[in-house]
Amino acid sequence: MGQGVSGTLFSWFCEQHNLDFIVIDNVPANSPSKTAAGLINPVTGRRVVTVWMDDIIIPFAENTYRQIGTKLGIEAISKMDIVDFFPNPFMKESFLKKMSQQAPYISLSKDEHYWNEHFNYEFGTGIIEPAYIVHLQQLLPAWRQYLITHNKFINQVFDFNKLVVSDYGVQYENIEADAVIFCDGVEGNANPYFSLLPFALNKGEAIIIEAPALPGGHIYKKSMTLVPFGEPGIFWAGTNYIWDFDDDLPTDAFRKYTEQNLSNWLKVPFKITDHKAAVRPATVERRPFVGMHPVYRNAGILNGMGTKGCSLAPYFAWQLVQHLVLQTPIEKEADVARHTRILSRTQP
């Protein structure tokens, strides 16, 4: 259940393994997968630390999105560099220190002044590469259309009252199956089978701008990130992390802050065309939830992607399908079995 990036990748690998399946999703106007920039960044944070399992997860993701793109006749992923504008001398120093330790993915720009025509900046730029953009705005509807054409999609709110999970399989209305896999993102926090897991939901926002004079083909980063978004001249600008929130709506504060920031940073004209917000299905340990329920063994989960659904979902969707078909183990840190004690208290 669910067709965000997790459900898309999970159903893709079901199809690759010739499994019989059906996807149920209520196609909301707003979800994190519809709000995300789609960025895969190999490093993270102020100290430009290489991300978890980068050498396995990132090449796997690139390869998978390219295969899906070929099948659907779309460009599902693009490779780009990130131009990292140092906001102050300390950040530059930290970047240089990391470079001196032979850290992968990072280098210094050859020409410090290259971006003077487009941006205001004082402390030079670094380069992070390769990075990727997953074109979720094209990929998700194209995959949904493919599923609809092959009678594998139901547009509906999944009703847990109609689900029976037994030791022999699952029944949902007139559908009988071996298993149900929940890829329900932030709603997983209220899912009667998995709500006890330590989710740590947080809200994020983005502004969409039109800036026709800004070159595409690069991602730009200073105190925010600017990502080419779908069409030429359109950029996604974000984001923030709000831990205490009452709703998933855009806030005036973010819009004002971002507009001000962009006005200071960009030398080229821009116009705001949209403002989005959604809640990320993040987890306390910053690791996904992947695998089958320890008590209700035919109910499984692929969730907890946090800020990194685009890079994590392909590999862990594949691992989960492999686990279902061949009983191969799931990566320990991601395996939901680490929460067996908590999940044993489940009362759906």
Ligand X SMILES: Cc1cc2nc3c(=O)[nH]c(=O)nc-3n(C[C@H](O)[C@H](O)[C@H](O)COP(=O)(O)OP(=O)(O)OC[C@H]3O[C@@H](n4cnc5c(N)ncnc54)[C@H](O)[C@@H]3O)c2cc1C
Chain residues that interact with ligand X, rule: CB under 6 A: 1-7, 24-26, 28, 31-33, 35-39, 157-158, 183-187, 204-206, 238-239, 278, 280-281, 303, 305-311
| Count of C-beta atoms within a 10 Å radius of residue 333 | 13
Closer CB to ligand X, residue 124 or residue 314? 314
- Count of residues making up the chain: 348
Torsion angle of the four alpha carbons 230, 236, 241, 242, in this order, in degrees rounded to the nearest 10: -90
CB of 310 to ligand X, least distance (A): 3
CB of 230 to ligand X, least distance (A): 14
* 3 state SS of 218: strand
CB of 8 to ligand X, least distance (A): 7
Distance CA 205, CA 153 (A): 29
Closer CB to ligand X, residue 185 or residue 228? 185
Q: What angle do CA 77, 56, 339 make, to 5 degrees?
A: 105
- Helices 54-72 and 5-16 sit at what angle, rounded to 10 degrees? 70
Question: In sequence order, which residues have a C-beta less than 8 Å from that of residue 116 and are 6 or more positions away?
Answer: none
Instruction: Please report the sign of the dihedral spanned by the C-alpha atoms of residue 58, residue 201, residue 183, residue 154.
Output: negative
Q: Which residues of 18-38 are buried (b: 16+ CB within 10 A; e: fewer)?
A: eeebebbbeeeeebbbbbbbb
CB of 239 to ligand X, least distance (A): 4
Closer CB to ligand X, residue 211 or residue 310? 310
Assign residue 233 a region (left: φ > 0; alpha: ψ between -120 and 50; beta: otherwise). Answer: left
CB of 56 to ligand X, least distance (A): 16
Closer CB to ligand X, residue 58 or residue 266? 58
Closer CB to ligand X, residue 299 or residue 310? 310
CB of 206 to ligand X, least distance (A): 5
Closer CB to ligand X, residue 3 or residue 125? 3
